[in-house]
Chains A and B, each alone.
Chain A
Amino acid sequence: MENVGVCDEFVNLKATELRLGLPGTEDGGEEERQKVSCCKSNKRAFPETEKDIESTGKTETASPPKAQIVGWPPVRSYRKNNIQTKKNESEGQGMYVKVSMDGAPYLRKIDLTVYKQYPELMKLLENMFKFSVGKYCEREGYKDSEFVPTYEDKDGDWMLVGDVPWEMFVSSCKRLRIMKGSEAKGLGCGV
């Protein structure tokens, strides 16, 4: 699932690639799909197998900044825009959560439902905040990492990201904080 997360470099690379082939046989790139002109974004390889659809479908429909097939599902934009906008907050599932990083001047917000497992989330966070987190292990957490991802759960406690199964994490996470490794000492050490 390499397309998940911020991948500006990827898209630009594809744009400079030289290829032979009929127009309309390659995805126009995810960014293009958001452009006002629908016709450009309608160019897409016609999926030959269902397997293709599964992989492109999931990346394309993750959330608005990601690529969505133009005009699909066929719901008028008036209707899409006017259904109660309270949905995200009222669900209480922690879909959009704030992410802060120690030392960073402002916070970000991410949609947790976009990801299927921890590695994807970690990759996004690493890209977003330009740090690396190392491997998680159950006994010692993110040992020797400069930064450690933590989250506040429903009970108000600060937990280490990765301890609980993914679904439980998504439903209980209220906000994320990327803590300095030095501060996180003692967390997850199992002592």
Chain B
Amino acid sequence: MSEDDEDQSPASDLRSQRPCSPNKSRNCISSSQTFPDHVLENVLENVLQFLDSRCDRNAASLVCKLWWKVEGLTRSEVFIGNCYALSPARLTQRFKRVRSLLLKGKPRFADFNLMPADWGANFAPWVSTMAKAYPWLEKVDLKRMFVTDDDLALLAESFPGFKELILVCCEGFGTSGIAVVANKCRKLKVLDLIESDVTDDEVDWVSCFPEDVTCLESLAFDCVEAPINFKALEALVGRSPLLRKLRLNRFVSLEEVHRLLLLGAPQLTSLGTGSFSRGDQSQQEPPDYAAAFRSCKSVVCLSGFRELMPEYLPAILPVCANLTSLNFSYANISPDMFKPIIHNCHKLQIFWALDSICDEGLQAVAATCKELRELRIFPFDPREDTEGPVSELGLQAISEGCRKLESLLYFCQHMTNAALIAMSHNCPELTVFRLCIMGRLRPDHVTGKAMDEGFGAIVKNCKKLTRLAVSGLLTDQAFRYMGEYGKLIRTLSVAFAGDSDMALRHVLEGCPRLQKLEIRDSPFGDVALRSGMHRYYNMRFVWMSACRLTMGCCKDVARAMPNLVVEVIGSDDDDVNRDYVETLYMYRSLDGPRKDAPQFVTIL
């Protein structure tokens, strides 16, 4: 469960293009010392290799030229938050011994069809460059990238020591690409496909793993919408003694899960249960599912339930007391089904579910899950005018019961300022607050007022807040609060909010840590855009769609800021001379505009 993890560093790894000159006074001892340079380099190397955090490494690299060079030699894990911020060549020039790459591509709003397909974020140039430069590459973790089967094949062939492949919200590949990775990466420990779009090439990829004992520790394929060869999977689990995490897709039935658990249950720490429904209904006596779960002594993370048959849900009761993470977000569970289960989950820290559990279910969570850190409630029926089974009542209960809450994502139809104010006081540890009132422009449904005070209280009282998503009826006042109090906010999502340019100005002028700004359908125009020009080089990206920007202003910004790539995204048959800007996506880049932009993207 890694949707939109927060990254730690405020700056992209490779921003420091020119190292500062050697400091002759204190730190850099190369100038007036008796030690030869190469000895110093060795010493530094041995010391710097212990630095893990990106922040620390970025800081170290700025000390002097020597430190910059040695840091570049010793950094083994590289994080690139925007694949277009630099070219693959620059990566391989600066960092010589990379073992692990984390790369992010498309902006998040692309998930919601706000961007045409084929926009970019291709993995191909990265894998081909790294194939030559990093023969000892071990780990690749991609998010929102376009990855083809050929890319996967190249990866499998080029890196003999390859250990971990993690693809989150990616697309462009199919089961044939997975098959090649399974077959050729003999040291593979982790193969995690998470919420990715995997085409069914009708290839039996599970059979492609080598026949001897594997190194597999984690295998997640819950998003693969294709049947699998269960016998092969059973055999694979049987010869994977190190397997700890197994997340099955919905084509694996309860009986099959039962058989897998008999094989390897005691070692598993994380289980994705597949469909959680019976494949073969003809048998009268179902196997003892509860017994199988009872043998899962180490399971702390449970997910799946893709086609839940509710009568079997109690089978998971034996593991509930140990669970720290539970994901019911694909299962339509009613409060009555839910309460007996959650009642046992005292250690739960991460909980994802559909709003079908209702306010009543949330009250049960609040009563039991005192250790809760992260809560995500998704809509069963994601439309604007439905009834909405969860409301401010559920949120209020959670805020009173789960005082350690750090991260919230909550979809609802109605909300009140009072509930948000209460939460801001009850949950001071909140770092992520994302509320989606699905009806656009809905005010507080009790007082009829805008949601300004509620969100204002959140930014004011939750002093650790780094990520905020707002909704409902919001005036400029809400943004004034954000600018005044949201000093640590790094990511802000705005939709259908605000009255005027002033709103955006408040944010751009008041939030010094703002890195990622995504706005849609809000009345912000040129004045607002210009007001942020002092900020854009310090941000990862800005997205504005269906706002009130003109082409002229965007061109001005592009002209004034040469290291900013300003993309105007339209559709193929747009009139190029139109003044209205449908979508603006801009980001800093060390290597200028990209060469692979499709026709509907105009780079100013």
Contact = CB atoms under 8 A, between A and B. Distances in A.
Contact of B380 (A22, A61, A74, A83): A83
9 nearest interchain CB pairs? Answer: A71-B112, A61-B384, A39-B571, A73-B438, A38-B113, A75-B382, A24-B580, A71-B114, A37-B571
Given A38-B113, A39-B570, A47 B441 contact: yes
A46 B223 CA distance: 37
A123 interface: no
Interface residues of B, number: 55
B504 to A, nearest CB: 15
Interface string B359-393: 00000000000000000001111111100000000
Interface residues of B, dominant DSSP: loop
B381 A87 contact: yes
B330 A82 contact: yes
B199 to A, nearest CB: 13
A137 B223 CA distance: 54
Given A24-B580, A46-B546, A73-B379, 9 more contacts: A23-B578, A36-B116, A38-B114, A39-B116, A39-B570, A61-B385, A74-B109, A75-B378, A76-B195
Nearest to A76: B111
A16 interface: no
A77 B250 CA distance: 17
A70 B113 contact: yes
B384 A38 contact: no
A188 B91 CA distance: 80
Interface string A27-58: 00000000011111011101100100100011
Nearest to B225: A82
Nearest to A64: B383
20 contacts: A24-B582, A38-B116, A39-B582, A39-B600, A42-B583, A46-B523, A57-B385, A57-B439, A58-B385, A61-B384, A73-B384, A73-B411, A76-B169, A79-B330, A82-B250, A82-B306, A83-B330, A83-B332, A83-B354, A84-B306
Interface residues of A, number: 38
B384 A57 contact: yes
A75 B379 contact: yes
B321 to A, nearest CB: 27
A71 B113 contact: yes
A23 B580 contact: yes
B115 to A, nearest CB: 7
A68 interface: yes
A72 interface: yes
B330 A84 contact: yes
A80 interface: yes
A83 B169 CA distance: 17
Contacts of B520: 71
Interface residues of A, dominant DSSP: loop
B378 A84 contact: no
A106 interface: no
Contacts of A40: 571
Contacts of A82: 250, 306, 330
A82 to B, nearest CB: 6
Contacts of B574: 39
A69 interface: yes
A39 B583 contact: yes
B542 interface: no
Contacts of B204: none
Interface in B107-133: 109, 111-117
B489 interface: no
B329 interface: yes
A180 B572 CA distance: 51
A159 to B, nearest CB: 26
A50 B475 CA distance: 13
A74 B76 CA distance: 36
Nearest to A58: B385
Contacts of B495: 72, 74
A17 B193 CA distance: 49
Given A79-B329, A87-B380, A42 B545 contact: yes
Interface string B539-583: 000000110100000000000000000000111101100111011
B436 interface: yes
B119 to A, nearest CB: 11
B112 A39 contact: no
B308 interface: yes
A44 B113 contact: no
